[in-house]
Amino acid sequence: MKQVCLLLMLLILAISGRAQTDAITTSKGILEIHPVYHGSFWMNWNNVNIAVDPYGGAERYKEMGKANLVLITDIHGDHLDSSTLVKLDLVNTVLVAPKAVKERLIKFLPQDQKILELANGDSLEWNGIRVHAIPMYNLPDTAGSRHPKGRGNGYVLTMGGKRIYISGDTEDVPEMRNLKRIDIAFLCMNKPYTMDIQQAASAALAFQPAIVYPFHFRQPGGFSDVKEFARLVKESNTAIEVRLRSWY
């Protein structure tokens, strides 16, 4: 009986894990998307594991296996989480980060860790993946803002003919609103740190991604109303698919 109960529990956990995985067809195989926690997630494509802002403990990434590419957006602890990074297997892993992040990474990662610095507007190619850095910042853009322009990166990844936008911590800045041909977008929404749901909906309606994931929506006092975000988007453009997933 105990063995049967254990098997049932494992089955439930396996089903739960698969429920958090989205599979999207690309020109070079399936892109799997795995929400993890807050603003962190990982993707698998063409036998490459891509971790975005690993945060909240390495155990959350255990299912991923070895990371091949790690993208980090900014210096804050919910994006640059040293306690998580040092417990991941990063041997032969490539990290991509803006200068401010790289300056911190080299203080606690091995000296031979490969870190590629990418500034706003710059791009690189790695194993069939194009990574383009997009500005992410608060409005108004002032020296004292939580996220000044030029410090952090949003990213647009192009792989298998699909373009994936990762907002980082930003408001609905022109560089985001002017994006073109985005297939999948991950949009933050947690005032006062980033956008509110109205700004995020307005931005989504401006650049019209085929699929949008609300993420990074924990805010003071609770969580942003992502269901209302979805309603605002669908009310104006039914062609945009809003995917609500469990991030907390």
**pLDDT at 13 > cutoff 90:** no
DSSP 128: T
Are 132 and 156 spatial neighbours (Cβ–Cβ below 8 Å)?
A: yes
Residue 10 is predicted with a pLDDT of 36
Distance (Å, whole) CA 174 – CA 65: 37
Residue 136 is predicted with a pLDDT of 98
Q: pTM of this prediction? A: 0.92
Q: Give the residue from 241, 239, 220, 219 showing the smallest Cα distance to 230.
A: 241
- The label of the residue with tokens 């995985």 reads 21
Residues 229/163/97/187 CA torsion (nearest 10 deg): 0
Residues 74/79/85/87 CA torsion (nearest 10 deg): 170
Question: 21-242 domain in CATH 3.40.50.10090?
Answer: no
**pLDDT at 144 > cutoff 90:** no
Are 30 and 10 spatial neighbours (Cβ–Cβ below 8 Å)?
A: no
Residue 164 is predicted with a pLDDT of 98
Distance (Å, whole) CA 123 – CA 7: 47
* Cβ burial 201-231 (10 Å sphere, 16+ → b, else e): bbbbeebbbebbbbbbbbeeeeebebeebbe
User: 12 versus 242: which is more confidently predicted?
Assistant: 242
**pLDDT at 119 > cutoff 50:** yes
> Which residues does 9 contact at the CB level (< 8 Å), separation at least 6?
none
Q: Give the residue from 76, 37, 80, 77 showing the smallest Cα distance to 59.
A: 37
DSSP states along 143-197: TTSSS-TTTEEEEEEEETTEEEEE--S--S-HHHHT--S-SEEEEE--TTTS--H
Mean pLDDT across the chain: 93
Residues 102/247/35/235 CA torsion (nearest 10 deg): -110
Element (DSSP H or E) covering residue 125: strand 123-126
Domain positions in the chain: 21-242
Distance (Å, whole) CA 57 – CA 44: 19
Residue-wise pLDDT for 201-213, tens only, equals 999 999 999 999 9
